[in-house]
């Protein structure tokens, strides 16, 4: 009987894990049953969810899986049972099945947690998943149908991380289009830190501050959200901001399947993995993408919950799961290069290199790069076997 690799999730990490495992089996001319279980055979391009037309930001995966010999099962994994090397999963009709594996690759991603603050789950929006980002986009478009008021014209972004910044920078232009050029709109970023973009290098911070100022975005620093309700946001210092549109962007957590594996996890719930991306204490389970807490180098840096890391983590995890079944040497995960490319709306974008975020490009030049990254580089390869296998090599050129 063929050995089985089971991959949970068809995001950046899961897709590349499947292609990379198939590539190695093909290279060694041995058959391995490689199966992906996910709710849809499509890649949902989460890094673009602050943009317009969110519903279109998906790429089909079935043709790619067909040409590379990857099986796809549509459903949700409910339980991981390491003792018997099985998962239970629910198909699209709600029926429960058991599926055995020889190697499991957990690539089930992450989600923003809106439960941290009273009222956020009911009254705040987010742009974390296709459904919630679509609901947010529709809500913003429908603001035009509401009577003019301060609350209608004010958007509050809770959290000044990269997701919050990209959404904030996009909004002044979007609100003008929807509410009219003369509407007095406000975009407010509520940030716990002492200064805007305070967690990054001075160089990057200066760019973000300049771009925010130019687009009229307000930063409320040293500010924490106490609660959210239908009328807006109340801060811990008692200040109330009237708003019909509160967007929650902080508190991203690894998918809850990670809690079913008895292994150390970080504060975000990511499973500790070794250099081959095996979960500590579980040689037959690999964690990858946003569910993996993986060292990127020997200097103490770890992968972030980013697509740049998920893509390479996926390639290494799939390769190594297959290598262990083929009896060939695994390839230790390494990703020394770290870049950021942040969309700053009508101002342009900023591109940095290194963990110390040295600014290399700004404005239109960086925007051109950002567009090529998010509309080409991170999309799946063409549905051609040779092309897909070439790109699935963990050592193929990548950032
Ligand atoms: C608004 C936003 C902006 C971002 N911007 C950037 C950016 O500019 N640059 C960057 O590098 N990163 C960015 N990211 C982060 C990036 O999107 C994630 O790091 C990346 O998607 C992680 O890939 P992944 O494959 O681990 O998880 P995901 O892409 O989340 O994929 C997870 C997969 O697992 C599936 N799944 C979940 N649960 C189950 C289950 N129980 N059973 C079966 N399947 C399951 C999901 O359906 C999905 O197919 C952004 C994210 C967001 C939300």
pLDDT tens readout for residues 10-45: 999 999 999 999 999 999 999 999 999 999 999 999
Q: Is the pTM of this model over 0.95?
A: yes
The conformational region for residue 382 under phi > 0 = left, psi -120 to 50 = alpha, else beta, is beta
Q: Which pair of tokens denotes residue 126?
A: 């987010």
Distance CA 185, CA 192 (A): 23
Give the atom of ligand 1 at the shortest distance from the alpha carbon of 110.
Answer: 30
Tell me the best of 15, 43, 46 to mutate to test the pocket of ligand 1, counting ligand atoms within 8 Å of each CB and taking the most: 46
Residue nearest to atom 14 of ligand 1 (CA): 47
Give the atom of ligand 1 at the shortest distance from the alpha carbon of 249.
Answer: 1
Q: How many angstroms is it from 306 CA to the middle of ligand 1?
A: 8
Beta bridge partners of residue 279, listed in sequence order:
273, 282
* pLDDT value, residue 399: 66
Residue-wise DSSP of 262-298: -S-B-TT-PEEB-TT-EETTEEEEEE-GGGEE-B-SS
Give the atom of ligand 1 at the shortest distance from the alpha carbon of 304.
Answer: 19
Residue-wise DSSP of 131-159: HHHHHHHHHHHHGGGSPP-HHHHEEEEE-
* pLDDT value, residue 303: 98
Q: Report the chain's mean pLDDT, rounded to a whole number.
A: 98
Query: 345: Cβ below 6 Å to ligand 1?
Result: no
Tell me the best of 79, 90, 108 to mutate to test the pocket of ligand 1, counting ligand atoms within 8 Å of each CB and taking the most: 108
Distance CA 231, CA 233 (A): 7
Name the H helices within the chain.
Answer: 12-27, 62-68, 120-123, 130-142, 150-153, 162-179, 202-215, 307-326, 363-372, 385-392
The 10 Å Cβ neighbour count of residue 147 is 5
Q: How many angstroms is it from 236 CA to the middle of ligand 1?
A: 31
Q: Which pair of tokens denotes residue 127?
A: 């742009």
Distance CA 129, CA 253 (A): 13
Write out pLDDT tens, residues 281-301: 999 999 999 999 999 999 999
Query: 380: Cβ below 6 Å to ligand 1?
Result: no
Q: All domains of the chain, ordered by start, with CATH?
A: 1-110+250-335 (3.50.50.60), 128-246 (3.50.50.60)
Tell me the best of 89, 307, 343 to mutate to test the pocket of ligand 1, counting ligand atoms within 8 Å of each CB and taking the most: 307
Query: 14: Cβ below 6 Å to ligand 1?
Result: yes
> Which residue from 56, 54, 189 is spatially nearest to 133, judged by alpha carbons?
54
């Amino acid at each position: 009987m063929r050995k089985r690799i089971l991959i949970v999730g068809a995001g950046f990490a899961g897709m590349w894990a499947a292609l990379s495992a198939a590539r190695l089996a093909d290279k060694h001319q041995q058959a391995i049953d490689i199966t992906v279980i996910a709710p849809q055979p499509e890649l949902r391009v989460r890094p673009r969810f602050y943009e317009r037309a969110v519903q279109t930001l998906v790429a089909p995966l079935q043709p790619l899986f067909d040409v590379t010999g990857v099986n796809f099962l549509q459903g949700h994994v409910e339980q991981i049972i390491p003792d018997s090397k099985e998962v239970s999963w629910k198909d699209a009709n709600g029926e429960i099945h058991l599926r055995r594996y020889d190697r499991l690759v957990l690539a089930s991603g992450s989600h923003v947690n809106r439960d941290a603050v009273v009222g956020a789950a009911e009254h705040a929006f987010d742009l974390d998943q296709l459904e919630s980002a679509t609901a947010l986009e529709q809500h913003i478009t429908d603001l035009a149908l509401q009577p003019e008021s301060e609350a209608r014209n004010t958007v509050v972004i809770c959290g000044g991380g990269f997701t919050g910044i990209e959404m904030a920078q996009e909004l002044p232009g979007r609100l003008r289009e929807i509410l009219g050029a003369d509407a007095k709109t406000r975009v407010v970023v509520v940030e716990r830190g002492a200064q805007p973009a305070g967690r990054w290098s001075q160089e990057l911070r200066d760019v973000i501050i300049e771009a925010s100022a130019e687009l009229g975005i307000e930063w409320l620093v040293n500010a924490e959200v106490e609660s959210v309700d239908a009328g807006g946001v109340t801060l811990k210092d008692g200040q109330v901001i009237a708003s019909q549109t509160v967007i929650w962007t902080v508190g991203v957590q690894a998918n809850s399947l990670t809690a079913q594996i008895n292994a150390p996890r970080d504060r975000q719930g990511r499973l500790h993995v070794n250099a081959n991306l095996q979960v500590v204490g579980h040689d037959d389970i690999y964690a990858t993408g946003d569910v993996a807490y993986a060292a990127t180098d020997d200097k103490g840096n770890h992968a972030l919950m980013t697509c740049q890391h998920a893509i390479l983590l996926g390639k290494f995890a799939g390769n190594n799961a297959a290598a262990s079944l083929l009896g060939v040497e695994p390839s230790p995960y390494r990703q020394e290069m770290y870049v950021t490319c942040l969309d700053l709306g009508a101002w342009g974008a900023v591109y940095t290199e290194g963990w110390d975020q040295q600014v290399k490009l700004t404005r239109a030049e960086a925007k051109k790069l950002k567009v090529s990254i998010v509309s080409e580089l991170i999309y799946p390869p063409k549905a051609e076997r040779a092309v897909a296998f070439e790109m699935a090599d963990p050592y193929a050129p990548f950032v």
